[in-house]
Amino acid sequence: MKPAPVIILIALLLITVAGTIIFFTGRKKNTHQPSIGPESKTTVKSEWLAPDTSLIPLTTEGDLIRFGRKLIANTSFYFGPAGIINHQANGMNCQNCHLDAGTRIFSNSFAAVASLYPQFRPRSGRIESIEFRVNECLERSLNGKKIDSNSTEMKSMVAYLKWVGKEVQKGSKPRGANTEELPFLNRQADTLKGSLIFQFRCQLCHGPDGQGVLAADKKSYTYPPLWGKHSYNTAAGLYRLTKLAGFIKYSMPFGTKYPTPQLTDEQIWNVAGFINSKQRPVKFFKYDWPALAAKPVDYPFGPYTDSFSERQHKYGPFGPIKKAKESSQKKT
């Protein structure tokens, strides 16, 4: 006996519905997020996104975090020449070098501080804590003095740094954590051309003499000095040309943000050379670069393990220095 057409239709309908259910329930939900673990940090394509400060908890720990952010954003108000805590720093703020209190990518952000520290750093030749690194910035970029590692101020800054990077997996470094690495020029930076770039693109904010513009409270700078007694000293990271050029790429002139620079790479190298050719406080640390071979190609003070001059180490060209360094490493 042949089954009735209605029965056949019902059977086909049930088979179709069952297949659909199996198909959808059998699929795995797409929960893939870009990994920022140590094993895949070179494959991360998405940039770091800073946490929302409005989400800082209304707790004792949250109070520390908020105070830490204030110290970083308005350092001079607390530690500058007219500071309300002490007068140990030069009047600049931490966020003059770490834009938006360290939350702007490719502008020396704090994205990887919590995930990478403590860590060994060749400059000091030791394993550095976050506290040690903060004091390094105070002594170098702010040309000031250390603060007590157990002070409320230090605890607050460390709390903020850890909060900013709380979503970054330990041991990893997300894209945009530091600054851009610019391709080397095949010549030294041209400080004369750099002075023209400064004149037309930088002096509007930093002044014709590079001394910046003081804020109305006279305790801080609206635009920081780029050289002179109130700027970073010769031991600061920005006194290395690659570091200053990398910072300028997506941070300066005012209004520049990733991924749209306002200057060409050549202009950046030249104006960086001009800025670092100017006078500033001289400061040395006896423990810097204990292993001479570890000195970067752009560290402007000898002695070196190569035959290149201090001038070339300061202004370039850096390509030959890097090539010689790599050749020496292969031999050893």
pLDDT tens digits for range 161-204: 999 999 999 999 999 999 999 999 999 999 999 999 999 999 99
User: DSSP character for 175?
Assistant: B
What is the C-alpha separation between 25 and 28, in angstroms, rounded? 8
| Residue 193: Cβ within 10 Å count | 16
| pLDDT exceeds 80 at position 6 | no
**In three state form, how does the secondary structure of 185-249 look?**
CCCCCCHHHHHHHHHHHHHHHHCCCCCCEECCCCCCEEECCCCCCCCCCCCCHHHCHHHHHHHHH
Task: Give the orientation angle of helix 265-276 with respect to helix 241-249, to 10 degrees.
Answer: 130
List of residues 6+ apart from 163 with CB closer than 8 A: 51, 56, 65, 68
| pLDDT exceeds 90 at position 301 | yes
pLDDT tens digits for range 33-69: 333 333 334 335 578 999 999 999 999 999 999 999 9
Report the pLDDT averaged over residues 1-27: 41
| pLDDT exceeds 70 at position 279 | yes
Domains in the chain with CATH codes? 53-164 (1.10.760.10), 191-316 (1.10.760.10)
pLDDT tens digits for range 132-168: 999 999 999 999 999 999 999 999 999 999 999 999 9
| Residue 188: Cβ within 10 Å count | 17
pLDDT tens digits for range 231-243: 999 999 999 999 9
Nearest Cα neighbor of 46 from 57, 36, 32 is: 36
